[in-house]
């Protein structure tokens, strides 16, 4: 089953478009693992997928503690995204993707700045071989995102000036990516990018809650999935917080 089909089925089954970013502050590895598992077991019924960052993989180990987390997400029938932001030369990118896919992740994130030939082409090739997903970073959620993703560039095909993030949205279409990351903190960018992607490529929006993104505004702008991390993971009641966000999202018109 492809990643896109897997996450859509999960969203329908759970009546949720919430992707939990399992991002926890640094502490002892044992605490990270036990806390991660506890949050997963408390919130899974309100989620459609789980995203893990390197801040969890580095202390726990890809084939050690992370395997325990992936085992639980599989039992809970939650697709998993490795937020590794692949951004190197082609042969290295392919090996990185293979490691994460073989570890059990259903999708990876990748940075289109490195381009296609000898860049991200090998990642898409191995994803197709293994029926996994690739989600491209089109506009990130942090304050300085515009310094890179917001640059004005010359389109090499048309020679016209355009914004970097609009060029990345076009690449997401032409490369047939499984999703595009666009920060919930920039709803105006979500609208612009959705005009290009429409229903062909779903938008994943991080930044709801702690970073200032709003559920209703983000969905109305065109986001399909909300990536929510610290608002849930640092909550005194993660399950109740996840439920509240899920219900707020469900009240938004499609």
* Contact status, residue 97 vs residue 108, Cβ threshold 8 Å: yes
* Mean predicted confidence (pLDDT) in 56-65: 93
Query: What are the pLDDT digits (tens) for 88-103?
Result: 999 999 999 999 999 9
Domains annotated on the chain, with CATH:
3-250 (3.20.20.70)
For residue 146, what pLDDT is reported?
87
Of 46, 95, 48, 102, which Cα lies nearest the Cα of 70?
102
* Contact status, residue 173 vs residue 147, Cβ threshold 8 Å: no
Residue 130 phi, psi (nearest 5): -100, 5
Strands (E), 54-102: 80-86
- Tokens at 140, concatenated: 């990130």
Strands (E), the chain: 18-21, 49-53, 80-86, 107-110, 133-139, 152-154, 161-163, 179-182, 203-206, 225-228
* Mean predicted confidence (pLDDT) in 48-59: 95
Is 68 assigned a catalytic role?
no
Query: What are the pLDDT digits (tens) for 147-173?
Result: 899 899 887 778 889 999 999 999 999
Q: Rounded to two decimals, what is the model's pTM?
A: 0.95
Query: What are the pLDDT digits (tens) for 209-252?
Result: 878 788 999 999 999 999 999 999 999 999 999 999 999 999 88
The rounded percent of the chain whose pLDDT value lies above 90 is 83
Among the options 41, 85, 171, 243, which is catalytic? 85
Pairing of strands 161-163, 49-53: unpaired
For residue 28, what pLDDT is reported?
67
Query: What are the pLDDT digits (tens) for 11-40?
Result: 999 999 999 999 888 766 778 999 999 999
CA–CA separation, 153 and 160 (whole Å): 8
For residue 212, what pLDDT is reported?
76
For residue 31, what pLDDT is reported?
87
More confident residue, 79 or 23: 79
For residue 187, what pLDDT is reported?
95
For residue 128, what are the contacts with CB-CB under 8 A and spacing of at least 6?
A: none
For residue 254, what pLDDT is reported?
64
């Amino acid at each position: 089953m492809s990643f896109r089909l897997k996450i859509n089925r999960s969203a329908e089954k759970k009546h949720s478009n919430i992707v939990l970013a399992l991002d926890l502050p640094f502490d002892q590895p044992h605490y990270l693992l036990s806390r991660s598992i506890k949050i997963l077991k408390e919130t899974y019924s309100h989620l459609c997928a789980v995203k893990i960052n390197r801040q969890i993989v580095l202390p726990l180990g890809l084939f050690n503690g992370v395997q325990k987390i992936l085992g639980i997400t599989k039992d809970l029938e939650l697709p998993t995204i490795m937020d590794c932001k692949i951004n190197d030369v082609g042969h290295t990118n392919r090996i990185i993707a293979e490691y994460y896919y073989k570890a059990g992740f259903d999708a990876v994130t990748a940075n289109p700045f490195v381009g296609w030939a000898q860049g991200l082409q090998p990642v898409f090739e191995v994803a197709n071989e293994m029926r996994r997903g690739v989600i491209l970073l089109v506009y990130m959620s942090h304050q300085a995102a515009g310094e890179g993703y917001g640059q004005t560039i010359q389109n090499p095909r048309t020679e016209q000036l355009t914004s970097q993030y609009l060029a990345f949205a076009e690449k997401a279409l032409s490369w047939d990516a499984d999703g595009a990351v666009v920060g919930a903190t920039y709803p105006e960018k979500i609208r612009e990018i959705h005009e290009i992607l429409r229903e062909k490529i779903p938008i994943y929006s991080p930044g709801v809650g702690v970073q200032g993104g709003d559920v209703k505004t983000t969905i109305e702008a065109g986001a399909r999935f909300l990536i929510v991390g610290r608002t849930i993971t640092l909550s005194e009641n993660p399950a109740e917080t996840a439920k509240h966000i899920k219900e707020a999202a469900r009240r938004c018109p499609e």
